Amino acid sequence: MKVQFHTETQVDPKSSNFMNVIYGSAKRGGYRLRWYLLLLLIISPILYLAYFMYQSIYLTIAPGIITTSPMLITATNDGIIDFVVNGDELYTKKSVLVTINNETISNTEHYLSLKTQEIDAQIEKLPAINLDKYNQEIKNAKSSFLKVNEIKKLYEKYRKQGQVSQVDYANIINTASVAKQRELQSSISKEQALFSYDQNKLAGPLMLLRNDIGLKLISYQSQQNELSIVSPVSGFIVENYVTEGQWVQKGQELMTIAPYRQPEVISYVDAKYLAKVAKGSEVMVQLPNGGQYSAIVRSKPRLATKLPSQLTTPFTETKAVLKVVLEFNNHVNDLDWVEGMPVKVII
C-alpha cells in the first residue's frame, strides 16, 4: 500500500497552526517563481552556448554594410562657399550642389572678356583694301587684249590672201599672247592682294593677340563654370562637410551624395567560405531591426585587405577577406535602412 505524507501547509496553504494565513498562496507562488528564475539563471549560459555553437557549426554569418556606393564631392578650386544645399531633398542629375566664389578667377575672366571686345572692335575698324588700282589694270589689260585680238583676226584674213608675211603674222601672234598673259597676271595680282589682306587680318599682330587672349579667356571661363559644382547623379546628400562663407581649398571634401537607387550589400567573408559565396549564390541579409531580406551574390568575390570603418574596432585584427557584392531579390523598404548601416549576412 502506497503511503503519502502531506504537511499541514500542503493540505491547507491558508492555515498555519490553526490560524488563517491570507498570504499563503502568494507566498508559495513566490517560492515557485524564485525557483523558476534560479533554474533559468542556471541553464541560460547553456542555452546561449548551444545557440552560439549552432551558429558556428551550421550557419556562416559575415558582417556587411548596406550602401548605394555614395560619391565624394570635392572642391574644384580655392574659394569661399557662396551656396551649399541641405540634405533633406532628392537632387536630380546636374543640380547645383555647391557654388564657390574665387575672385581671382572672376576678375581675370571679366578683364579678358573686355580685352577681347576691345580687340574685336579694333579689327573691325581696320581700313578696307583698295582694289581700284587692280581693277583698272584688269580693265586696261582686257581692253588691250581685245584690240590685239581684232588685229590678229585681220592678219589671219590677209594671210589667207597671201598679203601678210610669216614673220609679221608670228609677231602679231606673240603680241596677242603677251596681252592675254597681261590680262591673266592682272587678275592674279588682284587675288594675291586680297589674300595678303585677309592673311594680315586673320594672322596679323591684332589677330594673334586676339587668339592668345581668347584661349586664356576660354580657360578661365571653364574654371569659372567648374566653381558651380553639380550633382553627378540623382540622389540624396548623406553628409555635408562645409557651410556657407567657409574658405575651402582645391580638392577639399565638400559632401557625400548617395545615388537614388536600390541599395546593395557589401559583405566581408572569410576566405575559407569562398565556395559558399560563388556568383549566383543565395544568402540572407539581416538588418539591425530584425528584418530579413533574401539576396544573391551579384559578382565574383574579390580580395579586400581591410574592413570599412563601420565594421572595425580599435583592436580589430587586420587580415585579408573576400569582398562580396550582394543584390537584393526584393525591394527594401526605405524606412528599414540608412546609408552605410552595418548588417549581418547569413550564408
Handedness of CA 230, 236, 240, 246 (dihedral sign): positive
Q: Cell 567657409 sits at which residue?
A: 246
With DSSP H G I counted as helix, E B as strand and the rest as coil, what are the percentages for the chain, rounded to 5?
Answer: 45, 25, 30
d(CA 185, CA 190): 9
Q: How far is CA 122 from CA 131, 182, 209, 215, 319, in A?
A: 22, 37, 12, 19, 70
Q: Give the H/E segment covering residue 178.
A: helix 166-203
From first to last of its 347 residues, the chain has per-residue pLDDT tens of: 455 555 555 555 555 555 555 554 555 566 677 777 888 888 888 877 777 676 666 678 889 999 998 999 999 999 999 999 987 788 889 999 999 999 999 999 999 999 999 988 887 776 776 777 777 777 777 877 777 777 777 767 766 766 666 666 677 777 777 777 887 887 777 787 777 777 666 666 788 888 899 999 999 999 999 999 999 999 999 889 999 999 999 999 999 999 999 999 999 998 888 888 899 999 999 999 888 999 999 989 998 877 887 777 766 666 778 999 999 999 998 888 988 899 999 88
- 41 backbone dihedrals φ, ψ, rounded to 5°: -65, -35
Phi, psi of 252 (to 5 degrees): -70, 140
Of the candidates 66, 62, 69, the one whose C-alpha atom is nearest the C-alpha of residue 265 is 66
Q: How far apart are CA 298 and CA 262, in angstroms?
A: 14
3-state secondary structure of 32: helix
Amino acid in position 25: S
| pLDDT digit string, tens, across residues 168-186 | 667 777 777 777 788 788 7
Query: Which residues neighbour 161 within 8 Å (Cβ) at sequence distance 6 or greater?
Result: none
Nearest-angstrom CA–CA distance, 122 and 209: 12
Domain 56-70+259-346: which CATH class? mainly beta
Residue 99 CB contacts under 8 Å (≥ 6 apart), including other chains: 81, 82, 83, 227, 228, 229
Q: Kindly report, residue by residue over 297-339, the tens digit of the pLDDT.
A: 998 999 887 788 777 776 666 677 899 999 999 999 888 898 8
* 3-state secondary structure (DSSP) of residue 295: strand
Q: List, in sequence order, every beta strand (DSSP E) within 102-251.
A: 228-230, 235-240, 247-248
Report if pTM > 0.75: no
